Amino acid sequence: MMLTRFLLEKIDRTGWIFLVLLALAAVMVPVLNLAVPPGSPFHVSNTAVSLWGKYMTYALLALAVDLVWGYCGILSLGHGAFFALGGYAMGMYLMRQIGPRGVYSHPILPDFMVFLNWKELPLTWWGFSSFPYALFMVALVPGLLAFVFGWFAFRSRVTGVYLSIITQALTYALMLAFFRNDMGFGGNNGLTDFKDILGFNIQSQTTRAVLFSLSVVALMIGYLLARAIVTSKAGKILIAVRDAEARTRFLGYRVEHFKLFVWTVSAVMAGIAGALYVPQVGIINPSEFSPANSIETIVWVAVGGRGTLVGAALGAGIVNFAKSWFTGAFPQGWLFALGGLFIVVTLFLPKGILGTFTDWWKRRGETREPPAGKAVGQPAE
């Protein structure tokens, strides 16, 4: 009861539209994919299901970034690290599920360990045969890393560009570490060749459709949670920190605690997004830590509308649709297009697509409705 109220109370119209559309997608896409025959114009293709499912996890990542950047002013250029860590945790579970079906047929060790001539499972891999444990790690590892990182960064009052740079350094350092074979996470090949998840064949279309729906549901829950946070009084404090950090301190708020809270929640959200991403794309490797990924996420949020949540998710979808079209049409041009898009948005749509649209909608409403003062004398409807 309390929780429902906490989550649903402050959803605005944009939010409801967003949630309803997502709920529809979660139900309809699998139906149109599985139950409608391929010849029909209503059929949703298998590739589309996988692609859209991937976008849903990107949207959740964008939401996580918007929570810290849009509402607390922390420009994270390292959220890809939390996403990748969540992904690795899921990947490790999926590797352990392969069991003796690997190329080397080792009952326990994943192929790459046999190849490296390892004799036993490293400690880091223990427990990952259990799904609940893996899920726990999906949240814990990014959350803990964010907590420790944030603890040091925020209490030393590292802010602005310096903070952005160290988040970038964080993801870069992790990328280098995960490239090393002796880290025990598959080196530059990463983790792949997954067979099944919870006993269901990961290649089967039903599993894929379910993963799609789960990603949509995760995005919905992520949105509800983020919205509840930003509309609470704590959310107002976050915005206060973003706009006038010193003032907030002098009012007696412990700014570093608020930052640490939202930063950690955001990292866990990113981790969950990564965990849903991996079974859908079938691979996780160190390139997911690449600094460019984190920067791309910032572009999604900026394009969609920073500080709007729904806009961030929308931006992730729009930019990635553009990307898949573009990389098909002009394979070399994507990075230029992305850079161009970012410049255009920052110069002409500083509030992003959603922010600009809501402003326009409001202004339209104001000019069409008679001013409140004049309406008083009119009879009630």
The span from the CA of 312 to the CA of 39, in Å, is 35
Q: For residues 260-319, which are near another protein according to CB under 8 A?
A: 261
Q: Enter the DSSP assignment of 9.
A: T
Determine, following the binding rule CB under 8 A, whether residue 373 of this chain makes contact with another protein: no
User: What six digits make up the tokens of 159?
Assistant: 């802010």
Determine, following the binding rule CB under 8 A, whether residue 101 of this chain makes contact with another protein: no
User: What six digits make up the tokens of 170?
Assistant: 């964080």
Give the binding-site size for another protein (rule: CB under 8 A).
27
How do beta strands 283-284 and 200-201 pair? Answer: unpaired
Least distance from another protein to the Cβ atom of residue 242, Å: 8
Closest CB to another protein among 244 and 344?
244
The span from the CA of 186 to the CA of 116, in Å, is 10
Q: For residues 141-200, which are near another protein according to CB under 8 A?
A: 155-157
Distances (CA, A) of 154 to 46, 82, 162, 209: 45, 18, 11, 41
The span from the CA of 60 to the CA of 78, in Å, is 15
Closest CB to another protein among 246 and 347?
246
User: What six digits make up the tokens of 255?
Assistant: 């700014």
Q: For residues 233-252, which are near another protein according to CB under 8 A?
A: 233-234, 236-237, 239-240, 243-244, 246-247, 249-252
With CA atoms as reference, report the closest residue to 117 among 184, 176, 192: 184
Stretch that binds another protein, among 53-61, 186-194, 253-261, 364-372 (CB under 8 A): 253-261
Least distance from another protein to the Cβ atom of residue 30, Å: 35
Closest CB to another protein among 55 and 263?
263
Contact (CB, 8 A) for 138 and 86: yes
Least distance from another protein to the Cβ atom of residue 228, Å: 8
Q: Within a 10 A sphere around the Cβ of 2, how many other Cβ atoms? A: 6
Least distance from another protein to the Cβ atom of residue 66, Å: 15
Least distance from another protein to the Cβ atom of residue 249, Å: 4
Distances (CA, A) of 235 to 49, 75, 95, 344, 354: 35, 17, 39, 30, 20
Q: For residues 201-230, which are near another protein according to CB under 8 A?
A: 229
Least distance from another protein to the Cβ atom of residue 247, Å: 5
- Residue numbers of the site for another protein (CB under 8 A)? 6, 155-157, 229, 232-234, 236-237, 239-240, 243-244, 246-247, 249-258, 261
